[in-house]
Amino acid sequence: MRPMRSLLASAFAAALSFSAPVMAAEEPAMPNVGWKFEKLFGTYDLASAQRGFQIYSNVCANCHSMSLLHYRDLEGIGLDAGQIKAITAGVTVPQGTDDQGAPKEGPATPANTFKSPFANDKAARSANNGALPPDLSLIVNAREGGPNYIYGIITGFAEAPSTFKMQDGMYYNKMYPGHQIAMPQPLQDGTVEYADGTGTSLDQEARDVVTFLSWASNPEMVERKQMGVRIVLFFIFMTGITYAVKRRLWSDVH
């Protein structure tokens, strides 16, 4: 009996030793920011989206492309034609070749897609220690948790615990799976200066850029919600008409 008891005790101790790391590796809870645009009748805060575009242009665009967006699409966050032309005037994009066959560049137009920071994926990996920065055009739709997850990543950078072994060239992030991410902390308090005087805390900057990225992933969201409301109202109206007709037709039947 004693050998059997010793074997059971050893197995129980081994089970405890394996269970502890699993509990320690549990991922943190997803932040719940309470985005206005996620509510049933919610819309995008266009001022916030415009500030988020400023952050993307000044910070994120150094590494991340948004290849599915055209500059003219910025009308969707409230920019007018003059503002969009002013933005594209400061962007240089490839424009085919000259008469000698050499590549040439020139100012972008509203019809151009957002300029990519790298010529191709190999160049992107070479500049980022082998890591490929993801395209941000649909990033909110592509990640479980959507805007809350992206917000969690942006605000989740911290010093690694003393017991946590970091790989070379990686950064500790509380939200990222495995807690090691190749992207250095992109935002902190005062990263940008907003023209409208809005405060530039890390929380505010993260909210703004996530609002912009959410719009980029779902630019038709407001129209879709409005269409849904119209359809519901139409069915309510038709239900009332149908009921009234039914009462009229069967009013003399006892």
CA distance 38 to 231: 20
**CB count in 10 Å sphere of residue 209:** 28
Query: Looking at residue 250, what is its pLDDT?
Result: 79
CB 201 within 8 A of CB 22: no
Q: What is the DSSP string of 130-171?
A: T--PPP-TTHHHHSTTHHHHHHHHHH-B-PPPTTPPPPTT-E
Residues 6 or more apart whose CB falls under 8 angstroms from that of 138 comprise 68, 216, 217
Distance between CA atoms of residues 36 and 45, nearest Å: 8
What letter represents residue 181's amino acid? I
Q: Check: CB of residue 26 under 8 Å from CB of residue 192.
A: no
Note the pTM of the prediction, 2 decimals. 0.80
Number of other CB atoms surrounding residue 145 within 10 Å: 15
Q: pLDDT truncated to tens, each residue of the chain (254 aa)? A: 444 444 444 444 444 344 333 334 456 789 999 999 999 889 999 999 999 999 999 999 999 999 999 999 999 999 999 999 999 999 998 888 778 878 888 899 999 999 999 999 999 999 999 999 999 999 999 999 999 999 999 999 999 999 999 999 999 999 999 999 999 999 999 999 998 999 999 999 999 999 999 999 999 876 766 666 667 777 787 887 887 777 777 777 65
> For residue 105, what are the β-bridge partners?
94
pLDDT at 21: 39
Do 206 and 187 meet the contact criterion of CB atoms below 8 Å apart?
yes
Inter-residue contact 147 to 33 (CB < 8 Å): yes
Question: How is residue 189 written in tokens?
Answer: 């308090």
pLDDT at 26: 58
How high is the pLDDT of residue 221? 77
Q: Which has the closest alpha carbon to 30: 182, 142, 174, 172?
A: 174
Can you give the pLDDT at residue 196? 92
Look at residue 137 in the predicted model and tell me its pLDDT: 97
> What distance, in Å, lies between the first and last C-alpha atoms of the chain?
87
pLDDT the model gives residue 94: 83
Asked if 117 and 124 count as a contact pair (C-beta separation under 8 A), the reply is yes
Q: What is the DSSP string of 77-127?
A: GT--HHHHHHHHHT-EEEEEE-TTS-EEEEE--TTSBPPPSSSSHHHHHHH
Query: What is the pLDDT, as a whole number, of residue 222?
Result: 64
